[in-house]
Amino acid sequence: MNPNLRALLLASLAATVVSAALDAAAPGGDLYMALPGLGLAVGVLAFTHALELFAGTFALAICVALSVLWSEAGGPRRRLAPLLPWVGAALAVASVRAHLVVYATFATYLPANLGLLGLFVATGTACSGALGRGQAPTTRFAWGLFVATPAFALAGAAGAQVFAARLDIDEYPTLRLALAQIGHLLWLIGLWHCARRLPPGLLGSLARVWPVAALVGLAYGAQALGLLELGRPLFLARTTLGSSLASLHPYAVESEQPQRKVPDDPQGVARFLRHARMPTLPADFDLTRYNVLWLMSEATRFDKTSLGRKNDSITTPNLLDLRRSGAFSWKRAFAPSSGTFLSLSSIFGMGYPSMLPLETWQKPWTGEVFLPRDNPAQLFSDAGHHTFWISHNNAKCFAKTVLGVQAGFGDRKLIRSSKMTDRSIADAAVTALGERAAAGQPFFGFVFFVSPHSPYAPHYFNMPGRTPLQLYRQELRYMDEQVGRVLDALDALGLSERTIVIYAGDHGEEFREHGGAYHRATVYTESINVPLLVRIPGLKGRTIKEPTSVGYVLPWLLLHGTPAMKAVAGARMRTQFGPMLEHTGGAVVAEVLGHDRMKSTLVYDDLKLNYDFRAQRTEVYRTKGDRLEHNDRFLKEPALALEAMTRLTAYRDVRAARRRFTLRPDKLDPRGAATAATP
């Protein structure tokens, strides 16, 4: 066999093994130590999926091999041989770009396209310049290429793989795949150039066809026989190659088929009141006598506020004052999801995200919910309350990509993004409250602050601001100041004694506790544990330690409203909350829905069960002493694992029987030119 072909065969195998091994090493940790065979299974799975995921690189290898063969032939093929490496380079780079442009920004992003053009030129040059028979370079330029090509290729491969590993495993799977493809391509080029320099005898010994074929056959045989199933959940959930399969094989919601009928729960109201951990209200409590003001802030994580930090009166002093003024306060309140769209859909739809008539789009944190007419805002309006919505419009989300959640609100005001967005929101809220006080009409208002959503900006010179977390705390304080201004306005206008005040975060925020940043992609505690405060005039509040859901607040209050309110809240409890609470043993449920991510968690007093539908992976955590979920007990406590699987199966049965959501990965901003409302 031609030495170049032997070197190419060896490099192709070595590049794939190195890429798979490095990717499989990413989850690592105590899981691999507890089960030594787990790491091998994950690595072999990564290797066997390489042919599909690295098709562009293998196309390049085939073109280079043909070029080697044709250069030894005669006629037209010999003349075409020099072009084949460039054809292969084009195919490899086109494969990378195809995955990048899934995110529309990259299609016209000049630096990315220039980088791909440079990769094409470098790949074509490196491959076409290596088609000789290994003769020693005769010029300084040739010597430079001889030394620099493998060095730069191998360094670039390592850099691409490290960059991919640092990206959040649960975000941007196609970007991670593109980086992995670049890494594999550069590993191939670098290792090929190195292999060509091996002594002929050693190269011949290493690059025999039958051992390579046997190794590949064993890997695929083990997969076909199901010997790698132990590692499949971890491979799909925690590796670049496994998570990237979501971009090639989107989640099929049709796979969730009900295994049994789940009837309505005639005891749903009583069951809800028993498990929701909402305070018992007086028998004569009448919601319609009060105004209701719901204050919400983006990406607000409970344990980073003063409510969740001992001896911290600086970060969110106004939230502390709200608690001290008689509000009920929950230490373990969970958002319905880790993204704004699904959380707001659940809150105003009064149901679990998976059981609401909504659709998620290509970016799964975007979509539209189709709320029925009997939504909370409309119910308040029908009861004679003036309704208003005042919020940020970050990235024009409420005009273009987070649709339907404002249904039923009469006055809607979206504030354009600026450095002072939250101050403008507070100004608008104070104005609206003044108008309501002057009119003497009860109201239901929703005020939504953008801080502390990323990007985090500095606001105070007397607070640390070097790290993302320090800047996040500055954003929390800035948001808290605006909340304080609104609460002060309630007092000044004489509205506090007849206004129920609700404050909550729409979801949490990650700071690499599980490798990710920001939010939207996981159901770990840092993504969904939010502050929740409810102040009801005349009632003495308390701190509640048991878990609850922010999605329970409106149904709980509406049970004490007009007959229509009571009927709607009761219906939700009998058809959604009741059946779920009955079958899961009272779990608080949070969900992430999307074509490239599908995750749920069940939260109990002392347990938290996470399930990844795509990976079919279960995680079990004992939350006492492990609040942020770092010690998975699933493989360590078989009895607990069995209990977790039983409860999760019950959850999946209820969800499948009552599922109403749809996935629309083909949709991207269908409203096109929609614009934000005028502030």
Residue that has been written with the tokens 């280079």 in this structure? 64
Q: What pLDDT sits at residue 30?
A: 56
> 249 pLDDT exceeds 90?
no
DSSP 252-281: -GGG---SS-----TTHHHHHHHHS-PPPP
pLDDT-derived band at 207 (thresholds 50, 70, 90) equals low
Please state, for a pLDDT cut of 70, what percent of the chain lies above it: 92
Query: Model confidence over 229-248: pLDDT tens digits?
Result: 888 888 888 888 888 877 67
Indicate the length of the chain as a whole number.
679
Q: What pLDDT sits at residue 133?
A: 45
Rounded average pLDDT over 105-134: 80
Rounded average pLDDT over 520-535: 94
Domain range list for the chain = 3-231, 268-279+292-663
Q: Are 335 and 318 in contact (CB under 8 A)?
A: no
* Three-state SS at 452: coil
Q: Where are the alpha helices (DSSP H) in 350-389?
A: 376-382
> 288 pLDDT exceeds 80?
yes
Q: Are 573 and 269 in contact (CB under 8 A)?
A: yes
Q: What pLDDT sits at residue 1?
A: 62
> 166 pLDDT exceeds 80?
no
Q: Hey, how many other C-beta atoms are within 10 angstroms of the C-beta on 34?
A: 11
> 510 pLDDT exceeds 80?
yes
Q: Which of 617, 613, 618, 626 is nearest to 656 (CA)?
A: 613
Q: What pLDDT sits at residue 676?
A: 32
Q: Which of 534, 504, 646, 550 is nearest to 276 (CA)?
A: 550
Main-chain dihedrals φ then ψ at residue 101, nearest 5 degrees: -75, 0
Contacts of 303 (CB under 8 A, 6+ apart): 309, 526, 529, 627
End-to-end, the C-alpha distance of the chain in Å comes to 73
Rounded average pLDDT over 349-373: 94
Q: What pLDDT sits at residue 679?
A: 28
Count helices and strands in the chain by DSSP H and E runs: 27, 19
Q: Are 590 and 336 in contact (CB under 8 A)?
A: yes
Distance CA 669, CA 471 (A): 31
> 503 pLDDT exceeds 90?
yes
> 169 pLDDT exceeds 70?
no
> 146 pLDDT exceeds 70?
no
* Three-state SS at 631: coil
DSSP state for residue 383 in the 8-state scheme:
T
34-48, 176-190, 497-511: range with lowest mean pLDDT: 34-48
> 539 pLDDT exceeds 90?
yes
Superfamily covering domain 268-279+292-663 = Alkaline Phosphatase, subunit A (3.40.720.10)
120-129, 302-311, 360-369: range with lowest mean pLDDT: 120-129
Is residue 515 left, alpha or beta, with left meaning phi > 0 and alpha meaning psi from -120 to 50? left
> 429 pLDDT exceeds 50?
yes
Report which of residues 580 and 162 the model is more confident about: 580
Q: What pLDDT sits at residue 403?
A: 96
Rounded average pLDDT over 521-544: 95
Distance CA 59, CA 71 (A): 18
The H or E element spanning position 499 is strand 499-505
DSSP state for residue 676 in the 8-state scheme:
P
Q: What pLDDT sits at residue 175?
A: 83
> 621 pLDDT exceeds 50?
yes
> 94 pLDDT exceeds 80?
yes
Q: What pLDDT sits at residue 195?
A: 82
> 307 pLDDT exceeds 60?
yes
Q: What pLDDT sits at residue 187?
A: 87
Q: What pLDDT sits at residue 674?
A: 35
For the chain, the 3-state helix, strand and coil shares in percent, each to the nearest 5, are 55, 15, 35
Rounded average pLDDT over 633-641: 92
Report which of residues 121 and 106 the model is more confident about: 121
> 44 pLDDT exceeds 70?
yes
The H or E element spanning position 248 is helix 240-248
pLDDT-derived band at 678 (thresholds 50, 70, 90) equals very low
**Inter-CA distances, 663 with 346, 369, 507, Å:** 16, 12, 21
Rounded average pLDDT over 294-311: 95
Please provide the average confidence, as pLDDT, over all residues in the chain.
Answer: 88
